[in-house]
Amino acid sequence: MVGAGVLGLPYAMSQLGWGPGIAVLVLSWVITLYTLWQMVEMHEMVPGKRFDRYHELGQHAFGEKLGLYIVVPQQLIVEIGVCIVYMVTGGKSLKKFHELVCDDCKPIKLTYFIMIFASVHFVLSHLPNFNSISGVSLAAAVMSLSYSTIAWASSASKGVQEDVQYGYKAKTTAGTVFNFFSGLGDVAFAYAGHNVVLEIQATIPSTPEKPSKGPMWRGVIVAYIVVALCYFPVALVGYYIFGNGVEDNILMSLKKPAWLIATANIFVVIHVIGSYQIYAMPVFDMMETLLVKKLNFRPTTTLRFFVRNFYVAATMFVGMTFPFFGGLLAFFGGFAFAPTTYFLPCVIWLAIYKPKKYSLSWWANWVCIVFGLFLMVLSPIGGLRTIVIQAKGYKFYS
């Protein structure tokens, strides 16, 4: 659940300001927990059947064809979006590590670091399934807790910066508004576990007496407590210490103690390696299924080899072309994450359970839907503008 999006939260706070920032953080935490509960409940709502994939749930709610068309494109955008952002994150953290560990080294281009990061995935992508990644997942969980803690603890020990300012950075009203939208997207990106939640629940054994939703829900609660412990301190302490001068990745604002920040950056790299795989797996699955079923390819190792390497290379290439962490977060956060995380579960819930009009459940779902739509429409505008502004002064592949 804890993504590298947590590193962008202080920056999101600087774009939202104290009041709205805290409100959006808390609201997102509550809404995403609620929609996650809905998905855990709906996993086995039909006796004797389990919805192991997000699109199977969509098909049950909206019909065979429509369900696919509603859910699959959104899921693909999320998964591909995360993979691209993680390419950039991995590359940037490796670069920062290199700078901290070796002061007098010749600086190496970010492009090369993204390539170095991608090289790991050309190997890892050929692991067979989810279970073979459970070790990687455990490492990733420990890492994310560690670097979140380092991020806020070393900020706190640094003390509030002398010329700290908490106002909005942009000079114009338009700039402030667009940055606000962008900040919303950064927050949406941080809450992004819903796309693989059904796949995860599918691995839990289930009987009519002991349905899988019991242990799954306990897991979700623990995960969300950890999320709160990671997100809130990082967002609030990071913003409190650096004000609106904070970088779009908090670890880039911290310099000392060098060994600790270097360690944190390596933790980020290890974490993103694991997360990249988790988000890439469903895409491999879809691509291979499509090629075998629709285009009649033979399901061979050669096919897997080419499909997976092609995907890794494609995400690497996009990451090298647009290495803007903050802008990418906001763009994908609003465009792809808001639907699948904030309101799609609610729409499915309304379609299937049909709660009474104006009942508590009806209101709760509609509030989430409105908030989610708001995020989906506004954030990408802010994110795109950020990317355009950053790209103006940027030499490609420099």
* Cis status, amide bond into 211, omega within 30 of 0: no
Q: Tell whether 117 is covered by a domain.
A: yes
CA angle 270, 150, 240 (to 5 degrees): 130
Q: Tell whether 307 is covered by a domain.
A: yes
Give dist(CA 165, CA 240) in Å, integer: 9
CB 202 within 8 A of CB 49: no
Give dist(CA 276, CA 288) in Å, integer: 18
Give the domain CATH number at 238. Answer: 1.20.1740.10
Three-state SS for the chain is CECHHHHHHHHHHHHHCHHHHHHHHHHHHHHHHHHHHHHHHHCCCCCCCCCCCHHHHHHHHHCHHHHHHHHHHHHHHHHHHHHHHHHHHHHHHHHHHHHHHCCCCCCCCHHHHHHHHHHHHHHHCCCCCCHHHHHHHHHHHHHHHHHHHHHHHHHHHHCCCCCCCCCCCCCCHHHHHHHHHHHHHHHHHHECCHHHHHHHHCCCCCCCCCCCHHHHHHHHHHHHHHHHHHHHHHHHHHHHHHHHHCCCCHHHHCCCCHHHHHHHHHHHHHHHHHHHHHHHHHHHHHHHHHHHHCCCCCCCHHHHHHHHHHHHHHHHHHHHHCCCHHHHHHHHHHHHHHHHHHHHHHHHHHHHHCCCCCCHHHHHHHHHHHHHHHHHHHHHHHHHHHHHHHHHCCCCCC
pLDDT in tens, the chain (398 residues): 777 788 889 999 999 999 999 999 999 899 889 999 999 988 888 888 888 888 888 899 888 889 888 888 888 888 888 899 899 989 999 998 998 888 888 888 889 999 999 999 998 888 766 566 677 777 877 888 898 999 999 888 888 888 888 888 888 888 889 889 888 888 888 887 677 788 788 888 888 888 888 888 998 898 889 889 889 999 999 999 988 888 888 888 887 788 888 999 999 998 888 888 888 888 888 888 889 998 888 888 888 899 999 999 999 999 998 888 778 878 888 887 788 888 889 999 998 888 899 999 999 999 999 988 988 888 888 888 888 888 887 777 76
Could you tell me the residue range of the domain that residue 213 belongs to?
A: 4-393
Q: Of 291, 368, 55, whose CA–CA distance to 196 is shortest?
A: 55
Is residue 159 classed exposed, middle or buried when 0-12, 13-18 and 19+ CB atoms within 10 A define those classes? Answer: exposed
What was the pLDDT predicted at 362? 93
Q: Tell whether 398 is covered by a domain.
A: no
What was the pLDDT predicted at 112? 93
pTM here is 0.84
Number of domains in the chain: 1
Q: Tell whether 131 is covered by a domain.
A: yes
Q: Of 28, 373, 14, whose CA–CA distance to 183 is shortest?
A: 14
Q: Tell whether 319 is covered by a domain.
A: yes
